[in-house]
Structure 1
């Protein structure tokens, strides 16, 4: 068993195909097929099922995939430790990011500071819904991820805090209020933003013994804003999820705080901050400095 075989196995699982994995790795498809076949022969187990449209990982393969990522992660950490000892900073950092909050509001400034200090580290960013980022960290697909805190399953580095706000059409009956209660929101057609926000919003209503009148469930921010602007409903979103210049780009939308105020914390999650690679630990330190907060381990 070699590191190369494990790297190919992981890539085939992530890309769900031999051809896509070969293109990503810059090798031939036959080399990918040979590596998988050799690894399966050595383990005496089927790792993937070869189908016409795509490759799927077997149940045993899924368990061994976690081991493979762990082995490769430890190997990468060893390489980075050796590079740091030589006065070099090399390696790969894999980051999981979600939505406008992380990808647009937090990540750019952190990456700028990180690249200035560690230009030799290759950074790979995977973007997806909040739940996907959590799973990527748990599965070791990424080294560090952005997430809504707290989350006791991981070590965490709190970065920022914002609050949930109601978005109302300017000519709506609630638009003149200084703040809006959940009970008031529940009296009007509601647009439920998916991709993580619903996991924050729905429990709020449930805890208050209320149920929003959900008219639409939408995963794309641009569509949610368009529907609110058209008067098709009202919604609730975290402040950091709102686009820059909302008042200029969507002048028919007003933003009002909730009463009582509902706050949200966003930060980084890692499986084990103390055992993370030097590249991941450096990213956490720089993110904390950029955000002006201190780290906390779960």
Structure 2
């Protein structure tokens, strides 16, 4: 058994493709197949099954994959620790990012500073929704992920607080208010986001007993703004996820803070801070430093 074989198995499980795995590693497809067969022979188990061209993990494969990812994560951390001892920061860092808040607003700021300071660290960004990021951390698919705090499953490093705001057609009577009581939202058709804030918007409405008539669900902020512009309803979104320059193109859309003012806390989460790799630690330190000055 070698770490190369373990990495190949983990990549096959992720991509469900021998070809993609081979391309990712820069080796032949036959080499990928040989490595997997050698690992299966060494363990005397079947790790994957093929049915009509589809690749799926066997039950044994699913169980072993958890431990394989742990070993690969430890190996990556070990290599980074050795590099750090010699004053070099090298290796790979996988970051999980959700929605516009982290992908469009936070990451560009942080990565600019991080890559200037640590140019030899290869960074991969996996984008998902607010439910996928925690799962990816648990599965060791990513090393660190943006997350809404608190979450007792992880060690979380705080970054900042954001607020929820209402987007309202300027023709609606409540648009004249400086802030909008959450209970007033029940009187209008509601446009629900399905991006990173959906779970928290629902929790917010439930907390105040508001049951709006949900007209549509949308995953893109631009679509929500366009629908509000056309007076199809109102919406609640995270202020940070909103491109404020974009709003200038929609003169009939106004944003208003909610009453009471409602915040969410964004942080960077890891599975266990005791096993934090040097690259992940460096990224978290840069992120906190950059955002403390923003």
Give the TM-score normalised by the residue count of structure 2: 0.96
* Structure 1 segment 47-196 matched on structure 2, within 5 A: 47-196=47-196
In 2: Cα distance, 1:255 partner to 1:238 partner: 11
Single out whichever of 184-193 and 27-36 deviates more from structure 2: 27-36
In 2: Cα distance, 1:169 partner to 1:225 partner: 9
Q: Which runs of 5+ in 2 are unaligned?
A: none
In 2: Cα distance, 1:209 partner to 1:275 partner: 42
3-state SS in 2 of match to 1:190: strand
In 1: Cα distance, 2:76 partner to 2:93 partner: 9
Quote the offset at 1:237 in angstroms: 0.3
3-state SS in 2 of match to 1:256: strand
Task: Check the 8 A contact 2:94/2:142 in 1, yes or no.
Answer: yes
Q: Deviations over 1:221-248 (max 9, x none)?
A: 2222221111111100010010140332
Count of equivalent residues? 293
Quote the offset at 1:256 in angstroms: 0.4
- Poorly superposed stretches of 4+, deviation over 6 Å: none
Quote the offset at 1:160 in angstroms: 1.1
Give the TM-score normalised by the residue count of structure 1: 0.95
* Structure 1 segment 203-282 matched on structure 2, within 5 A: 203-282=203-282
Q: Deviations over 1:129-160 (max 9, x none)?
A: 11111111110000000011111110101101
Task: Check the 8 A contact 2:185/2:210 in 1, yes or no.
Answer: no
Quote the offset at 1:186 in angstroms: 1.1
Task: Check the 8 A contact 2:168/2:175 in 1, yes or no.
Answer: yes
- The verdict on how the C-alpha distance between 1:244 and 1:44 changes in structure 2, with shifts beyond 3 A counting, is farther
Q: Which runs of 5+ in 1 are unaligned?
A: 294-298
Q: Deviations over 1:145-201 (max 9, x none)?
A: 001111111010110111100001121222111111221111111011012322101
Aligned partner of 1:33 in structure 2 is 33
Q: What is the CA RMSD across the aligned residues, in angstroms?
A: 1.4
Single out whichever of 142-151 and 167-176 deviates more from structure 2: 167-176
